[in-house]
Structure 1
């Protein structure tokens, strides 16, 4: 069967799944406006089921900044590929897009995205709202952290966008990157105007962009 984002709430019987919930607000409590998408591998094979071809499942935040979506669990026995993660893309009004990866085991159903999303320790202009608080643990040993350590942690959990320039006109740009995930790509001409192109990912560290006419400009990888 073919499984698309529009069928997220009606998964085939027997397919392990996890209910994911979340809510996003600004520091002053204002609900954010926007969408969150969850991209799995292009083809998943489940034992005892047909091949399931997936597109990214996209949810729109409601008036309180919340969403709820049921997704295929990432740890179904015998699934091929056996080890994979969802690529999560957050796109909110007035906020730079953010991309990260998460696991959704069936045993964790339901899951709050605030409990699994990487959060910058000292930067950012919005926050996911956590679920019910658990029991208080034992106090830890006080420690010290330097600004350099915070910068290193920030770069690891929320990599900064990378920019690449195409100086010579070409109908195909080959763009290397060092981001630990498949990036979101924005393409611009030399005047800074966003342009359209066919984006592909031939390798984990390379992106290509193809155009109908030879173009010069730049690419920003988020």
Structure 2
């Protein structure tokens, strides 16, 4: 792991138990990732034994020089006398080209001050891709049925209402938040792509039944396919 400059790893005040957290993020081909991580405790932490109050969030930035690695000192979640008790950090990963991810971790104080690696704490994301159907052999042709009374145009209109066709939406100006209006009768699945056609990950949300949003770690241009 590439060491982070000492000036970027803050020492906590005397009497405040801490945990030294480390980690590394890479793409499947080994390319180091860049971006930010935030560690959010409850709104306010009071530590009367150390005459200290902690507020806001801790942020660490991963730059190209870090080769995907980071390290940070954080308040232990089991510090004596702390209020509230039994809390967890909300971790938010915003990495270039990756989907924004959030999860909770606990950081109890380690005997001897041994560092903790985020890879040992972060949950694995379940596979959410699309399965490839296997087509079997073609069966025998059946007898032609009697003509129906419903016209083809009516059938197509009914099919469109029950199973709307995918819609492509474009984002021409770079933005970290895409707001997409749609006419689907349900919340559609959203896949996003950059201008080169490479799929990029974003955090999909819903403003109302006919408006979805996609939040990225960085400003992006490209397109979205809704289905």
Q: Which residues of structure 1 form unaligned runs of 5+?
A: 1-5, 125-185, 192-208, 210-214
**Residue in 2 aligned with 1:57?**
58
1:115 maps to which of 115, 120, 129: 120
1:217 is displaced (CA, Å) by 6.9
1:190 is displaced (CA, Å) by 4.3
8 Å contact 1:37–1:58 — kept in the other structure?
yes
1:70 maps to which of 68, 73, 77: 73
**Residue in 1 aligned with 2:13?**
12
Aligned to 2:119, what secondary structure does the other structure show? helix
- The answer as to 2:85 corresponding to 1:94 is no
1:47 is displaced (CA, Å) by 3.1
Q: 1:219 to 1:8 in 2, by over 3 A?
A: farther
1:59 is displaced (CA, Å) by 0.6
Superposed CA deviations along residues 113-140 of structure 1, whole A, max 9, x for unmatched, are 000000125469xxxxxxxxxxxxxxxx
10-19 or 107-116: bigger deviation: 107-116
CA RMSD of aligned residues (A): 3.1
Aligned to 1:114, what secondary structure does the other structure show? helix
Superposed CA deviations along residues 69-124 of structure 1, whole A, max 9, x for unmatched, are 00000011221101100000000111110000000011274100000000125469
| Distance in structure 1 (CA, Å) of the matches to 2:89 and 2:179 | 28
TM-score between both structures, scaled by the size of structure 1: 0.52
TM-score between both structures, scaled by the size of structure 2: 0.51
Q: Which residues of structure 2 form unaligned runs of 5+?
A: 1-6, 130-176, 183-206, 216-227
- The answer as to 2:179 corresponding to 1:188 is yes
| Distance in structure 2 (CA, Å) of the matches to 1:218 and 1:67 | 36
| Distance in structure 2 (CA, Å) of the matches to 1:86 and 1:25 | 23
1:62 is displaced (CA, Å) by 3.6
Paired residues in the alignment total 134
**Residue in 1 aligned with 2:185?**
none
8 Å contact 2:18–2:109 — kept in the other structure?
yes
